[in-house]
A and B are shown apart, each in its own frame.
Chain A
Amino acid sequence: MSTVIETQGLTKHYGPIVAVESLNLCLQAGEVFGLLGPNGSGKTTTILMLLGLTEPTAGWARVLGEDPLRNPLEVKRRVGYMPDSVGFYDELTARENMRYTARLNGIPSSEGEERIDEALAAVGLSEVADRPVATYSRGMRQRLGLTEVLLKRPQVAILDEPTMGLDPEAAHEFLAMIRGLKARGITVLLSSHLLQQVQAVCDRVGLFHKGRLVLEGSVDALSERVLGGAYRIAVQATGDGLERLLSGIPGIVRVVQERPGTCRVEAQQDCRAEVARRVVAGGGQLLGLSLERATLDDVYARYFQEARHEA
């Protein structure tokens, strides 16, 4: 495994405003990495610095071993980028838009046509390729953005908010296409504030908060760290002292009574059997017992809750 993207102390200030603060990031070849964070937390600025489109205040970045400041053309030749709210020349057709991109990339026109056809087919736009982009829906524009990335046959794809503004069905399809990028051996860096979706495709995620990367790792590892346990068990039972009864079980981190008769249990391992045994042994009636995997939403909510408490 080789390092594809690496940053060291990457910092960007806009006057007194801190956009990104000493970011250390390391992406291995072939992985899908998710940059997560609320709007304005520095995700897009980070991406622009990686592409050499904006100058860092301090620190450095290497993309595919190249410095995006010194050699941006080489970086941009090998990296596909889809900006958030991607725009096209509306009066031109999708194919003409892609032809322009191919020409800007210096791809000879015969090869370019081939690549355009292939990329359009991969995202399912072949049928409508000769319609003006003005007639395209939001989802189709987004897919055209991905066409442009595929057209370059990049080693790295950087997608900024790829599912923003898409309906759930379209977002789902789009995520499948992102998985397709991984299957082609393309390293993917994507940014999003929609955690559930990111969780479905990312190998690793990094959480941004006010320009800082506050958490980094796989979704499971993060929930282990922030939530204290990766397993969440919902218990429905009648009987007194349910909370007390359950908190004695080894491996359980905390028990929260949500409503009378319903508890949420956080545990380091799957201890449903033990929970059932205790409830029944305690004279209660077990009505329901289900395991919920922790979602990024939980991690996120909990983390920022704690961050606020500390502040």
Chain B
Amino acid sequence: MKRRGSPWTGLGAILLKEMADHLSSIRMRLLEGLILLTAIGTVFAATQTLRQTIGEDPFLYLKILTSAQDPLPSFVAFMGFLIPLTAIALAFDAINGEYMRRTLSRVLAQPIYRDAVLLGKFLAGIFTLGITLLALWLLVTGLGILRLGVLPEGREVARGLAFILATLAYGGVWLALALLFSVVFRQPATSAMAAIAVWLFFAVFWEILAGLFFNIISATATGGPETELALANFRLFLSRLSPNTLYSETVLALLNPDVRALGPVLITQLEGAVRGTLLPLSQSLLLVWPQFTGLIATVIMLFAGAYVAFQRQEVRA
């Protein structure tokens, strides 16, 4: 049976309201403050060393993002940690919070479909993340100009924007996950804990588990170099099941133009390669395309799960 009327009706109204909520909420202020502090700290430390080597590195503004200065990790490492946290904070009470406040049945009694509610909340989270990231990147670049006295080049800007896009996709994964949990669990505290648990699992335990699993498999395998190559690829496959790996590989290739491959490279493949040359952006993009697609696919799958669960849910609290 086909329903009439557009599922987009009211999407704009929900999007605007949710974004206004996000941008004015204390939760976001706190996280933004935290991100700002770490950004300034890491960039300050990075520029400290980079000042000595200006002129030697063609991609200064990418180095600002990736170089770590003991005891501070790099800006990128901090982002990999803070972006999931922000994304989860944006969405963990998206749907069950409306149930708790008893506003959902009132909102759904307006001439809109549920599609608009869910998509509006998701897009509001993505836009909020996007605005935060863009502002942060501009801030970092501005700080770099002040401290280094060199203007960023076009290719650095392009790689920076690609980095933001990849980070947004990575944030989208955690946003969609938190949204799914906010539909599935009735208590916001439960959904927040569940989302953080999944994040911890991939951030800390997945590599350990994948390593253990790989050891079990490789202990039984015997054979020549072909088997070894297959095993190495299998190890990589296990690791890439985690969105964290996908993201770190993407960032690695985007911010380091000298990275030519994300996996085992055979000596024959290096034949004729000019050592030390940098990849153009298009080639780097081609390199991370599978990883980036993987991240987007995860977002779509999680959102679809949330969509199905939400459509089947009873409205009454």
Contacts and interface: CB of A to CB of B under 8 A. Distances in A.
Contacts of A51: 109
Contact of B109 (A69, A70, A76, A85): A76
B99 to A, nearest CB: 9
B112 interface: yes
Interface residue SS majority, chain B:
loop
Contact of A105 (B2, B3, B12, B110): B110
Contact of A73 (B2, B9, B14, B316): B9
Contacts, number: 84
A77 B111 contact: yes
A100 B117 CA distance: 13
Interface in A237-255: none
B9 A83 contact: no
Nearest to B25: A91
B111 A74 contact: yes
B16 to A, nearest CB: 8
A71 B111 CA distance: 10
Interface stretch (B100-108, B185-193, B205-213, B302-310): B100-108
Q: For A71, A73, A148, which residue has the most chain B Cβ atoms within 10 angstroms?
A: A73
Given A70-B4, A81-B109, A100-B17, A48 B102 contact: no
B315 A72 contact: no
B101 A90 contact: yes
Contact of A71 (B5, B13, B316): B5
B10 interface: yes
A76 B111 contact: yes
A86 B106 contact: yes
B101 A104 contact: no
A288 interface: no
A72 B3 CA distance: 8
B283 to A, nearest CB: 47
A53 interface: yes
A172 interface: no
Contacts of A101: 106, 110
A86 B109 CA distance: 12
B267 interface: no
Contacts of A70: 1-4
Contacts of B59: none
B113 interface: yes
Contacts of A76: 109-112
Give the interface centre of A69, A74, A82, A106 by most chain B CB atoms within 10 Å: A106
B314 interface: yes
B111 A105 contact: yes
Q: Which of B4, B5, B14, B105 has most chain A Cβ within 10 Å?
A: B105
A176 B281 CA distance: 71
Contact of A69 (B1, B5, B316): B1
B5 A53 contact: no
B4 A73 contact: yes
Contact of B4 (A48, A71, A86): A71
Interface residues of A, number: 32
Given A53-B109, A106-B111, A89 B101 contact: yes
Contacts of B102: 83, 85-87
Interface string A21-59: 000000000000000000000001100100101100000
Nearest to B100: A87
Contacts of B9: 73, 106
Given A51-B109, A83-B109, A74 B315 contact: no
A88 interface: yes
Contacts of A44: 316
B105 to A, nearest CB: 4
B4 A106 contact: no
Contacts of A89: 101, 103
A104 B111 contact: yes
A103 interface: yes
Interface in A164-217: none
B17 A69 contact: no
B5 A87 contact: no
A53 B105 contact: yes
Contact of A87 (B1, B10, B16, B101): B101
A138 to B, nearest CB: 13
A74 B103 contact: no
Nearest to A102: B13
Contacts of B16: 103
A104 B5 contact: no
Nearest to A78: B111
Contacts of B101: 87-90
A221 to B, nearest CB: 32
B112 A73 contact: yes
Contacts of A106: 9-10, 111
Interface in A260-295: none
Contacts of A103: 10, 12-13, 16-17
B169 to A, nearest CB: 30
21 contacts: A48-B315, A51-B109, A53-B315, A54-B315, A54-B316, A70-B1, A72-B111, A72-B113, A73-B4, A73-B113, A76-B109, A76-B111, A76-B112, A82-B106, A87-B102, A88-B106, A103-B10, A104-B10, A104-B110, A106-B10, A106-B111
Given A71-B5, A87-B102, 19 more contacts: A53-B109, A54-B315, A72-B3, A72-B5, A72-B111, A73-B9, A73-B112, A76-B110, A82-B106, A83-B106, A86-B102, A86-B106, A87-B103, A88-B106, A100-B17, A101-B110, A104-B111, A105-B110, A145-B106
